[in-house]
Structure 1
Amino acid sequence: MNKSLQQTWDLESIFPGGSHSPKFAAFLDSLEKEARELRLAVQNAKVPKNLEEAKKLEDIVSMMEKCTAMTSEAGAFVSCLSAQDQNDKKAVQLSGRITSIRANLQSVISAFSNVLREMDDSLWDAWTSTEAVFPLKFILDESRNVAREKMNPELESLALELAIDGYHGWGSFYDTIVSKIQIPNEENGKTEMLSAGQAFNKLHHPSREVRQEMFEKWEQAWTDAEDYCADTLNHLAGFRLKLYANRGWEDPLKEPLAINRMSHETLDSMWAVIQDTKPLLVEYLNRKAKLLGLDRLTWTDVEAPIRTSVSKITYDEAAETITQQFEKFSPKLAEFTQMAFDKRWIEAEDRPGKRPGGFCTSFKVSNQTRIFMTFGGTVSNVSTLAHELGHAYHQHLMRGLPVLNQGYAMNVAETASTFAEMIVADALVKGAKDEQEKLALLEEKIQNTVSFFMNIHSRFLFETRFYNKRKNGLLNANEISEMMEKAQKEAYCEALSSYHPHFWASKLHFYITGVPFYNFPYTFGYMFSTGLYARALQEGSAFADKYDALLHDTGVMTVEDLAKKHLDVDLTQRDFWQSAADMCVSDIHQFLRMTDHLA
């Protein structure tokens, strides 16, 4: 690994000039032209009566592929611009333009799906069995079936158009709110104003005093913004619920489950196994409290290291560690990771003005990815970096497939990312120099289990209940905060002494309009990847190719079919989920044994 890696990403090689790029402006003009031609072609398309007429639709499918790839490229670029500098006003304008393009494209695709849904079933089977169309059969079947469950084409088109300034407009308002968050921080005798992203990192500081002080300021900052956030969340939910009602969908989970290509039975089985595991997690939390000299943990103590003298990790050290550990599992994964660092596909610099959080975005025309995060030198930052590299590798494996077949769902996307995290975390624990280091790294690993089993569960409980209550009218900020805290208490089994009432306001995931219920797919990814990791330990180096093959199929299968094909398991039953939970339980038992004398 080369030393002194640059921590800012390279966007110039894609579209030089940032938000004022002439090349990007020309690209958007070209995209809008392609989109207009696609719309015209769909408007003129008629429901085919025979195979020859059906084959004429293949040109439309090709145009859809091109527009989808170009829209992905444009959206990825602007999301990078907005994230790296929240004060880039031009990027905000471009984001609005792309949102409009994306919504219009969705409208056209929806209209085309309505042409498909009217096709005779026998003709459909014949057309989707042809050599040209068969590779896209899963996606086209899915699109046709979804269309059959929606409103009539005219109403669906109207809803999508209204969503541009309504639904998506409210969603983008979160970016405006968070860009105005400024939190004072005193350090070395000086007071500076931190962005939300920088302040968030302080919530994970090794010093409890620093964490607690920042948490009070963090809660206050979001309390000050709570009315804006409450309005935003209410209207997002209101739009969805009204749309669902007009489609005849009673369950708010119908759409997110369909998007994630999974059944309610699978989701219920997963949560049931997790719920049965929680008593041991509470035992871990209580043990951790004793180790920290506390009666019970507060919200900011849950992810705190059990040692306060944790040295900072440099970005170069993190890059080297991740690449080395990936190499032990898969040389292909390590080679890709090295390339991502060398080609500056990663934005990691800790500076003011950046958006909080981390993400990986794909440029489907350029066949590249970019990773965004703020690297502060913690073990958690190393995990985030490995996590996002897992996403990037997943997309890398999809290159060469039809663009429509690259649209894998969030739950399997989170499988690749958390699997990558697990490789690094497990290897670090096993390779620890001494018991103290091993304990610290093991505890960091267990924190992921707590996060996915408890934190994400609290988000799922909150959002499910919020949507059900929102059916009866608007909720004010106090009611939403009370609902959030109640969900946290239930998910953490009352194990903490304080909670985060304004978590709903601060968390971007509640405001994302592209994927409703941006929570349970994380836990699915964690559990699914843990089960995969258990297989990897059993099968050794031979599993790497199986893993790649599984990821390669994620865009064209339900999760149940994916697991059956590659693992020969039934996800609607508890067995697989229990095998994953057992891996987590093993870590906790080891932690409790190692700390028994300390407590």
Structure 2
Amino acid sequence: MTLPLSRPVFDANASGGGFGKLPEWDLTDLYKAPDAPEFAADMEWLGKACAAFAATYEGKLAGLDAAGLLKAVQDYEQIDVTAGRIMSYAGLRYYQNTMDSERAKFMADAEGRVTDATTALVFWSLEFNRLDDDHLARLLAANGDLARYRPVFDRLRAMRPHQLSDELERFLHDESVVGASAWNKLFDETMAGLMFAVEGEPEELNLEATLNLLTDPERPRREAAARALAAVFDRNIKLFARVHNTLAKEKEIHDRWRKMPSPQYGRHLSNHVEPEVVEALRNAVVAAYPKLSHRYYRLKAKWMGLDRLQVWDRNAPLPIETPKTVDWASAEKTVTEAYAAFDPRMADLAAPFFKKGWIDAGVKPGKAPGAFAHPTVTTVHPYVMLNYLGKPRDVMTLAHELGHGVHQVLAAGQGELLSATPLTLAETASVFGEMLTFRKLLNEAKTPAEKKTLLAGKVEDMINTVVRQIAFYDFECKLHAARAEGELTPDDINALWMSVQAQSLGDAFDFMDGYETFWAYIPHFVHSPFYVYAYAFGDGLVNALYAAYESGLPGFQDKYFEMLKAGGSKHHKELLAPFGLDLSDPSFWDKGLNMIAGFIDELEALE
């Protein structure tokens, strides 16, 4: 989920929190402990394996026959599995408590050693991309097992026009641990350490707790939280501006040397999606702002008895909404039953997450904010992280992240190199899982007020997923374009942020002083530039998929599972053809946007 709202500075597991016993990760499926002999053995093996790989294959790829190249790919894949296992363990431990200096050191040391070891592999992609097209085509035609890796090779060779000399590529690989990676850690640790003095609260709160208050039924508490956020962001704004300036400049340098035509182009390449498809999505969403967010927020202002909404009203519950806490057992039951109603296989795939320590749900001091599903490696299993606070939206976040987990389990059969789904399709199973859960709850609604509350919540989630993420994308595009012209002051970045807010949210809003700094806490801008359009992409795609499901497309479930099992082994055109969908159709995105507009129509009809 993009920005799952979570909460306080207490251990929800220890206190109970009214949610029941919340699950914690059991990371022993990766390694028994940081000092486990298996961890040390894998680290030692990795160094030797990388050196042996380079000694065996460097300078020799062009002379390999099909069987020899297949062996090289398989050797590389095994190295990838071991390096991924090491870094998954170090990273997941760190995210459980980013304020623990031992965990931070353990991850940094692991990252450094893995980077040092894998420097020997830098030649692989460079030399592979120098293979003659006809020669590679003959090898693929000669060996079906090798040909299975064609999608990996296609993505690799898409970088051919943008790769640098062998020496420069090695330098960039070595330098990465003190480049973007180091700035990412600074951002994470700073965010985890921020505390907010919210007027009326008995003690200072962390970021999750303060963001959580923006959904509080009491308007004064929401305002107090918003003003506390603004005050702390303002005090730290020079640091956050420095992080963004540095990362954007580093990216501009890399892109210039690699002759990337735009800051966004590298993301499109890694997503295996055509720039014109993303542009069509962006343009369709921006054109739909008036019939989606602008219209919905005018309705919400009326429901709340307000002439104008303030930013702290954006995610406020409706006045008719009865505040309720959903305990963990009920959340598990709701999502599992929604998955099972679609197909029992889906519930079966989700079951181990609940039963085997694959979910870490409690809010704890130092724990990373938000939620995610991490696939680890294909020889183990995914892990899901939540900050569960018993809100109905937290149930939707659980459905979302479990969808990722199910997708990752199914795609693991492709092996390490073919399992990873491009970001544009990586949100498909997660958003579909949300939709299944929402439809179950809507069908079970007993009163018009309950139905209205569910519909409004879903519309707000979709606006956050589609409208807000495209506004984020536009902000990033503007920020990177402006940074290419020179250093940006905090006021410069603030102005870029505000330029997309009124456009996307509409004329129902006033924007308090201080809201201009709220770009500072969005992690995607720091960790994954231009990632955000993947959320809108996934929502639009799932809306079209769900329409095909509702229309009774024969064999939909089997086709859906085959799509998830494919992982990254097929292009989006091939994956979606069985559903009669084509992302390159200019009218494709209007189908999903019309579904959101239809929900708003239903809300208007309930007036």
Scaled by the length of structure 2, the TM-score of the pair is 0.91
Match of 1:119 in 2: 131
Within the candidate set 62, 85, 110, 1:48 is matched to: 62
Match of 1:29 in 2: 44
Conserved? CA contact 2:245–2:487, under 8 Å: yes
Describe how 1:513-592 pairs up with structure 2 within 5 A: 515-539=528-552, 542-563=555-576, 565-592=577-604
| Aligned-pair CA distance for 1:545 | 1.3
Residue type of the partner of 1:268?
E
Match of 2:461 in 1: 448
Single out whichever of 525-534 and 359-368 deviates more from structure 2: 359-368
Distance 2:262 2:117 in 1: 26
Single out whichever of 340-349 and 67-76 deviates more from structure 2: 67-76
- Secondary structure at 2:62 match in 1: coil
Residue type of the partner of 1:312?
T
Within the candidate set 516, 521, 545, 1:506 is matched to: 521
Q: For residues 377 and 37 of structure 1, do their structure 2 counterparts lie closer, same or farther at Cα, with a shift above 3 Å needed?
A: same
Q: For residues 443 and 131 of structure 1, do their structure 2 counterparts lie closer, same or farther at Cα, with a shift above 3 Å needed?
A: same
Single out whichever of 433-442 and 346-355 deviates more from structure 2: 346-355
- Secondary structure at 1:360 match in 2: strand
Distance 2:67 2:558 in 1: 36
- Secondary structure at 1:371 match in 2: strand
Match of 1:293 in 2: 305
Distance 2:323 2:273 in 1: 41
Single out whichever of 157-166 and 368-377 deviates more from structure 2: 157-166
> What percentage of residue pairs aligned between the two structures are identical?
24
- CA deviation profile, 1:253-312 (whole Å, cap 9, x unmatched): 110111111112211222232233221221111010111121122223222221353111
Residue type of the partner of 1:208?
R
Within the candidate set 26, 37, 42, 1:10 is matched to: 26
Within the candidate set 187, 195, 202, 2:213 is matched to: 202
Describe how 1:332-481 pairs up with structure 2 within 5 A: 332-364=345-377, 366-481=379-494
Residue type of the partner of 1:200?
L
Match of 1:128 in 2: 140
Distance 1:149 1:14 in 2: 35
Match of 1:269 in 2: 280
- Secondary structure at 1:502 match in 2: helix
State whether structure 2 residue 279 is matched by structure 1 residue 246: no
Q: Aligned-pair RMSD on alpha carbons?
A: 2.2
- CA deviation profile, 1:208-261 (whole Å, cap 9, x unmatched): 222211111112112111111111111111111101111112311110111111
Distance 1:66 1:419 in 2: 32
- CA deviation profile, 1:77-101 (whole Å, cap 9, x unmatched): 2222122112221221232234335
Distance 1:217 1:450 in 2: 25
Within the candidate set 315, 325, 328, 1:315 is matched to: 328
State whether structure 2 residue 139 is matched by structure 1 residue 88: no
Describe how 1:124-163 pairs up with structure 2 within 5 A: 124-129=136-141, 130-163=143-176
Match of 1:236 in 2: 247
Conserved? CA contact 2:414–2:567, under 8 Å: no
- CA deviation profile, 1:47-95 (whole Å, cap 9, x unmatched): 424x63x542333212211121222222222222122112221221232
Residue type of the partner of 1:244?
D
Distance 1:15 1:69 in 2: 14
Conserved? CA contact 2:47–2:118, under 8 Å: no
Q: For residues 297 and 22 of structure 1, do their structure 2 counterparts lie closer, same or farther at Cα, with a shift above 3 Å needed?
A: farther
Conserved? CA contact 2:99–2:189, under 8 Å: no
Within the candidate set 230, 235, 239, 1:224 is matched to: 235
| Aligned-pair CA distance for 1:342 | 1.2
Conserved? CA contact 1:71–1:98, under 8 Å: no
| Aligned-pair CA distance for 1:390 | 0.5
- Secondary structure at 1:91 match in 2: helix
Q: For residues 452 and 365 of structure 1, do their structure 2 counterparts lie closer, same or farther at Cα, with a shift above 3 Å needed?
A: closer
Distance 1:467 1:62 in 2: 38
Conserved? CA contact 1:458–1:488, under 8 Å: yes
Match of 2:9 in 1: none
State whether structure 2 residue 38 is matched by structure 1 residue 38: no
Scaled by the length of structure 1, the TM-score of the pair is 0.92
Single out whichever of 268-277 and 316-325 deviates more from structure 2: 268-277
Conserved? CA contact 2:215–2:222, under 8 Å: yes
| Aligned-pair CA distance for 1:540 | 6.2
Match of 2:4 in 1: none
Larger RCO: Structure 1 or Structure 2 (Cα < 8 Å, ≥ 6 residues apart)? Answer: 2
- Secondary structure at 2:373 match in 1: strand
Conserved? CA contact 1:419–1:533, under 8 Å: yes
Distance 2:167 2:268 in 1: 25
User: Structure 1 regions of 5+ residues with no counterpart?
Assistant: none
Conserved? CA contact 1:177–1:225, under 8 Å: no
| Aligned-pair CA distance for 1:193 | 2.7
Conserved? CA contact 1:329–1:541, under 8 Å: no
Conserved? CA contact 2:497–2:516, under 8 Å: yes
- CA deviation profile, 1:443-493 (whole Å, cap 9, x unmatched): 110012211232112211110010001111111112111211112122223
Conserved? CA contact 2:30–2:380, under 8 Å: no
Conserved? CA contact 1:84–1:353, under 8 Å: yes
- CA deviation profile, 1:161-182 (whole Å, cap 9, x unmatched): 2222122212221112112201
- Secondary structure at 2:516 match in 1: coil
Conserved? CA contact 2:475–2:497, under 8 Å: yes
- CA deviation profile, 1:307-359 (whole Å, cap 9, x unmatched): 35311111111111111111111111111222211112111113332211111
Conserved? CA contact 1:194–1:352, under 8 Å: no
Q: For residues 323 and 161 of structure 1, do their structure 2 counterparts lie closer, same or farther at Cα, with a shift above 3 Å needed?
A: same
Q: For residues 382 and 510 of structure 1, do their structure 2 counterparts lie closer, same or farther at Cα, with a shift above 3 Å needed?
A: same
Distance 1:107 1:538 in 2: 52
| Aligned-pair CA distance for 1:20 | 4.9
Match of 2:267 in 1: 256
Q: For residues 278 and 65 of structure 1, do their structure 2 counterparts lie closer, same or farther at Cα, with a shift above 3 Å needed?
A: same
Distance 2:335 2:346 in 1: 10
State whether structure 2 residue 83 is matched by structure 1 residue 68: no
Distance 2:123 2:160 in 1: 9
Q: For residues 427 and 102 of structure 1, do their structure 2 counterparts lie closer, same or farther at Cα, with a shift above 3 Å needed?
A: farther
Distance 1:292 1:164 in 2: 49
Distance 2:51 2:43 in 1: 12
Q: For residues 299 and 128 of structure 1, do their structure 2 counterparts lie closer, same or farther at Cα, with a shift above 3 Å needed?
A: farther
Distance 2:70 2:195 in 1: 52
Distance 1:540 1:207 in 2: 45
Distance 1:398 1:105 in 2: 27
Distance 2:477 2:118 in 1: 26
Distance 2:468 2:555 in 1: 34
Residue type of the partner of 1:274?
V
Within the candidate set 333, 339, 349, 1:326 is matched to: 339
Q: For residues 159 and 108 of structure 1, do their structure 2 counterparts lie closer, same or farther at Cα, with a shift above 3 Å needed?
A: same
